[in-house]
Chain A
Amino acid sequence: MPGKNILEMRGITIEFPGVKALDGVDFSLREGEIHSLLGENGAGKSTLIKCINGVNRKDSGTILLDGHEINPSGPNEAMTLGISTVFQEVNLCPNLSVAENIFVGRQPMKRGQIDWSEINRRAEELMSRFHLDIDVTRPLSYYSTAVQQMTAIARAVDVQAKILILDEPTSSLDENEVQLLFSVMRQLRDSGMGIIFITHFLDQIYAVSDRMTILRNGHLVGTYNIDELGKFELVTKMVGKDMDVIFSLKRANVPPDAPVMLKAEHIGDGSRIDDMSLTLRKGELVGFAGLLGSGRTETAEMLFGATRAVHGEIFVDGEKVSIRTPFDAIQAEEAFCPEDRKRDGIIGDLSIRENIMLAVQSRKGFMHPMTKQEQTELADKYIALLGIATPDCEKKAGELSGGNQQKVILARWMAASPKVLILDEPTRGIDIGAKAEIQRLMLEMCGEGVSVIFISSELDEIIRCSNRIVIMRDRAKVAEVDGASCTQQDILRIIAEGAA
């Protein structure tokens, strides 16, 4: 039985300089439901959330909480109204204990002092509601991301929240942890809480939510019951025309006599990878498939000199090269987009232009600086080419969405016109439209003669794009299959059982 609406938003419009982030969006949340909020990056999900929890102010529209109009001026005020948010990145203090993270700022006091035993007792009680039997006095950093996430939820719930907003809580959890989170979510729902759930994983939406609301480009597409809409229809509604891009992607065409661009023979780093060999032809795209920790990233890092290969030989364009540091690799015209773009790729405080210039400048050497005008021209060219959503090239890269940051990194290496491009999980954590875009760009670069190594956990995109697929398992290559003729099942079987 559907409960009454606890939250109603009508005609919400928010404008940022140059963009309408939300345009007359309606949204409602019932008591005791899990409501998924869907849309591509930049569709306005985060903006809508931030409007509810008071981070952003709306330009027009009304928000009703239990029938009364509210206008929270910040997360604190929203919290006192009963609206709690758990962000994707756990916003807690790693040095404090689990218990303290739940209660800091509103610790129970006794005789003018903090009542520690009460804090620990109540924290234990809360965590055991989530079936977590842990020592709550240990520092938060001692526990896994899942426990940290639960702690954040426990903190949110303990302030007597009526509405809980979960912004991508599952992106760094493993399967068991996700199930644990879901059971907690259901428990909270059954106790009458309204939960807004944001995720990029379609399966999770169907596993846990009751209704969903889809946004696209700041507009409301619609609100549906979960059994009303199949996955395919859902994706089509989310991305609009972008679906066509995915289906129109074509593998790179590599003639059998194309020259070998990159060749690694029996390389190993002495600890993690022992013996790895690989060839990559001009204009070819080789996919690395395998589970997390199977050695995909380690191999890529060795090829780029981020970790040193202690034995084996690497040839680029037929010449034997010694790659000890990333600088050597850049000199050999290799390029590498690391897995964790926030940490290893994007320099958030620099502008888009400066981020794009990094590799070019490194190649040219610092004795030959480019003029500001040349830089701007180059940056503008790639912004247009890659469709990076930004008012101009001087915006700080850290302020872009995940998909756009990824495009900036791609632009950085495209501008350096490498012979070999290594992409480690370039599509992780970005939405389907941006994924399709990145894949299209990859294949276009192959068409221009760049050889690409593409690492991804999503088999369908590996199969869709790769000429050949290297399958890794337990830190070694177990098989190499043809991209055109293999199926997901083939690859999964090899990953599970080793080479036939």
Chain B
Amino acid sequence: MKNRQTLLTRITNPKYIMVYATIGIFLVIYAAGGFLYGDKGFLTVRTFVNLFIDNAYFGISAVGMTMVLITGGIDLSVGAVASLTGMFIAYGTTVLHLHPLTCIAAALVMGVGLGLLMGWVIHYLNVPAFITTLTGMFLARGVCSLISRESIDIHHPMIDALAGWKIYLMKFADGKWVRIRPIAFVNFNVLLFLVMIIIGAFILQRTRFGRNIYAIGGNEQSASLMGLPVGRTKVLVYGFNGLCSVLAGISYALYVKSGWNLSLQGGELEVITCAVIGGTLLTGGVGYMIGTLFGVLLKSVIPALITFNGNLLSWWGKIATGLLLLLFICIQRFVVTSTGRRKGQ
């Protein structure tokens, strides 16, 4: 038997198991929703696109989080940094009357800078990522409240234009393009999310930097013995995650058009959940952007189902997400031990 690569072995490569599980479970839940609430319009394009619109900011942050998790790290500061970005924009435009782009530039400097700093502390001072980023979280959250303890509305022509901008989905009928019914559209947030997923996937799969991320997650000591730039890679990954947090913050500001010091509390955990149910291993070394994309969809399809049901309390969404997370952690455990066994260890 030839052991060479064929299309079949490429598809059945065990490294994709987790991604298949995510996509499979999403399809099952989506199909179940279609079966139960198809008559209420669950299967329409509009419902599907809304999954993206309502969760784009989590998705954008999950792109960076996926990379951090693949290195074997974690970042708890993302929710606070995104919230702080919203505060920058809200306070800057509404109170200080600055241009939003100025505020965004300041937020980028803050987010990326904090990310790089945390990465540096984690690698060079050898402080566990959990502690370092927890500190980052308190820091960012504290500054949020320092700026204002009230919710601030954002009113600026540019922000309004960006938030209101949308592309209607069209179909070709009777010789001309018409909007599909029920009306469905894609907004700036959704595009940003999809673009970030593509950029993330490109970095992870097609650049040396991305492959070093995987190598570090596989075995950091080996990676440095193989001559890979471990320190630089880790610092840059946290920096990139800071960038993603800021973009998520912008996206959230566009979504709610306000800044509030207590917004997105616990958001970091939602983001981590998206990545993990998307097949990213918490122990590092494994994860794919396509998995994260479906992880976001999977996490957002549950509240959608509850809305369609109409009778269930929204807390059932939390319970279902919890169970889902538990299921995925169990699958991961199983996959890790069953592939680890082969070495006879």
Q: Do A and B bind each other?
A: yes
A contact residues vs B (CB 8 Å cutoff): 75-76, 79, 87, 91-97, 100, 104-105, 107, 109, 113-114, 120, 124, 133-139, 141-145, 148, 155, 172
| CB pair A92 B344 closer than 8 Å | no
The 4 closest A-B pairs by CB, nearest first: A93-B218, A95-B285, A95-B218, A113-B206
Q: Is B225 interfacial (CB 8 A cutoff)?
A: yes
Q: Which among B10, B205, B285 has the greatest number of chain A C-beta atoms within 10 A?
A: B285
B2 sits at the interface (CB 8 A):
yes
- A–B pairs, 19, beta carbons within 8 Å: A75-B227, A79-B227, A87-B225, A92-B219, A93-B285, A94-B218, A94-B340, A94-B343, A95-B15, A96-B218, A105-B208, A105-B212, A107-B208, A107-B211, A137-B5, A137-B9, A138-B14, A148-B343, A172-B344
Using known A-B contacts A95-B285, A113-B206, determine if residue A104 contacts B342 with beta carbons closer than 8 Å: no
Contact of A114 among B206, B226, B286, B339 (CB under 8 A): B206
Task: Say if the beta carbon of B207 comes within 8 Å of chain A.
Answer: yes
Which A-chain residue is minimally distant from B227 (CB atoms)?
A: A76
- Cβ distance A326 to chain B, nearest Cβ, rounded Å: 21
B222 & A145 in contact (Cβ 8 Å cutoff): no
Interface contact A92-B222, CB-CB below 8 Å: yes
**Contact of B4 (CB < 8 Å), options: A87, A114, A135, A172:** A135
Contacts of B126 in A (CB 8 A): none
Given A76-B227, A91-B225, A104-B226, verify A144-B342 contact (CB < 8 Å): yes
Given contacts A75-B227, A105-B212, A107-B211, contact A93 B219 (CB under 8 A): yes
Contact of B211 among A76, A104, A144 (CB under 8 A): A104
Is A141 in contact with B222, judged by CB distance below 8 angstroms?
no
Q: Which residue of B lies closest to A92 (CB)?
A: B222
Give the CA-CA distance A242 to B184 in the complex, in Å.
Answer: 84
12 further contact pairs, Cβ within 8 A, besides A104-B211, A124-B4: A92-B219, A93-B215, A93-B285, A96-B215, A105-B227, A109-B208, A114-B205, A135-B4, A141-B340, A142-B339, A144-B344, A155-B226
Closest beta carbon of chain B to A165's beta carbon, Å: 13
Instruction: List residues of chain A with CB within 8 A of the CB of B2.
Output: 133
Rounded to whole angstroms, the CA-CA distance of A105 and B2 in the bound complex is 29
**Known A-B contacts A75-B225, A144-B343, A145-B343; A95 and B4 likewise in contact (beta carbons under 8 Å):** no
Are A145 and B344 CB-contacts (below 8 A) given A105-B208, A136-B5?
A: yes
Instruction: State the CA gap A86–B132 with chains docked (Å).
Output: 35
Is B4 a contact partner of A93 (Cβ separation < 8 A)? no
Q: Does B3 contact A (CB under 8 A)?
A: yes
Determine whether the beta carbon of B217 is less than 8 Å from that of A95. Answer: yes
Determine whether the beta carbon of A141 is less than 8 Å from that of B211.
no
**How far apart sit A139 and B338, CA to CA, in the bound complex (Å)?**
13
- Which residue in A92, A124, A143 is a CB contact (below 8 Å) of B226? A92
- In the complex, which residue of chain A has the Cβ closest to the Cβ of B217? A95
Contact assessment for B5 and A120 in the assembled complex, using a CB-CB cutoff below 8 Å:
yes
B: residues with CB less than 8 A from A are: 2-5, 9-10, 13-15, 202, 205-208, 211-212, 214-215, 217-219, 221-223, 225-228, 285-286, 339-340, 342-344
| A137 nearest CB neighbor, chain B only | B5
A87→B15 CA distance, assembly (Å): 26
Q: Find out whether the CB atom of B225 lies under 8 angstroms from the CB atom of A114.
A: no
Contact call A133/B218, Cβ cutoff below 8 A: no
Contacts A96-B215, A114-B211; is A105 near B343 (CB within 8 Å)? no
Chain A interface SS verdict (over half): loop
CA distance A134 to B342 in the complex (A): 16
Q: How far is the CA of A179 from the CA of B205 in the complex (A)?
A: 37
Q: Please state if B211 and A91 are interface contacts (CB–CB under 8 Å).
A: no
Give chain A nearest CB distance to B19 CB in angstroms: 14
Q: Which residue from chain A places its CB closest to the CB of B221 in the assembled complex?
A: A91
Measured CB to CB, the closest approach of chain B to A5, in angstroms, equals 27
Q: How far is the CA of A148 from the CA of B345 in the complex (A)?
A: 14
Query: Quick check: A139 and B15 within 8 Å, CB to CB?
Result: yes
Residue pair B3, A133 in contact (C-beta under 8 Å) = yes
A347 to nearest B CB, angstroms?
18
Report whether A143 and B342 are in contact in the complex, using a CB–CB cutoff of 8 Å: yes
- Contact between chains at B206 and A141 (CB < 8 Å): no
Chain A CB count within 10 A is highest, among B10, B206, B212, B221, for B206
Nearest Cβ on chain A to B1's Cβ, whole angstroms? 9
Residues on the A chain within 8 Å of B208, using CB: 105, 107, 109, 114
Q: How long is the Cα–Cα vector from A172 to B343 in the complex, in angstroms? A: 10
Q: How far is the CA of A84 from the CA of B208 in the complex (A)?
A: 22
B288 CB to closest chain A CB (Å) equals 12
Most A CB within 10 A of own CB, among B207, B225, B226, B286: B226
Tell me whether A141 and B3 are in contact (CB under 8 A): no
A109 to B217, CA, bound (A): 23
Whole-angstrom distance between the Cβ of B335 and the nearest chain A Cβ: 11
Q: A91-B222, A92-B226, A93-B285 are in contact. Are A104 and B215 (CB under 8 A)?
A: yes
Give A309 Cβ to nearest chain B Cβ, in Å.
24
Considering the complex, give the chain A residue whose CB is closest to the CB of B218.
A93
Q: Is the CB of A135 within 8 A of B3?
A: yes
Residues of chain B contacted by A109 (CB below 8 angstroms): 208
B-side contacts of A124, CB under 8 Å: 4
Q: Given known contacts A95-B286, A137-B5, is B226 in contact with A105 (CB within 8 Å)? A: yes
Bound Cα distance from A72 to B215, whole angstroms: 25
Q: Tell me, rounded to whole Å, the shortest Cβ–Cβ distance linking A209 to chain B.
A: 26
* Residue in A104, A141, A142 whose beta carbon sits within 8 Å of that of B212 in the complex: A104
A309–B212 CA distance with the chains assembled, in angstroms: 46
Cα of A114 to Cα of B207 in the assembled complex, Å? 6
- B16 to chain A minimum Cβ distance, whole angstroms, is 10
The CA-CA distance from A487 to B206 in the complex, in Å, is 62
Give complex CA distance A105, B207 in Å: 10
A141 partner residues in chain B, CB cutoff 8 A: 339-340, 342-343
Chain B residues with CB under 8 Å of A113's CB are 202, 206-207
User: Contact partner of B14 among A76, A134, A139, A144, CB < 8 A?
Assistant: A139
B222 cross-chain contacts in A, Cβ below 8 A:
91-93
List the A side residues contacting B340 at CB < 8 Å.
94, 141
Chain A residue numbers with a CB within 8 Å of B4 are 124, 133, 135
Once bound together, how far apart are the Cα atoms of A124 and B3, in whole Å? 11
Distance in Å from the Cβ of B72 to the closest Cβ of chain A? Answer: 10
A135 to B38, CA, bound (A): 44
Q: How far is the CA of A36 from the CA of B219 in the complex (A)?
A: 30
- B214 contacts which chain A residues (CB < 8 A)? 93, 95-96
User: What residue in chain A is nearest B210 (Cβ atoms)?
Assistant: A114
Contact partners of A95 in chain B: CB under 8 A: 15, 214, 217-218, 285-286
Find out whether the CB atom of B10 lies under 8 angstroms from the CB atom of A137: yes
Bound complex: CA of A133 vs CA of B14, how far in Å?
A: 19
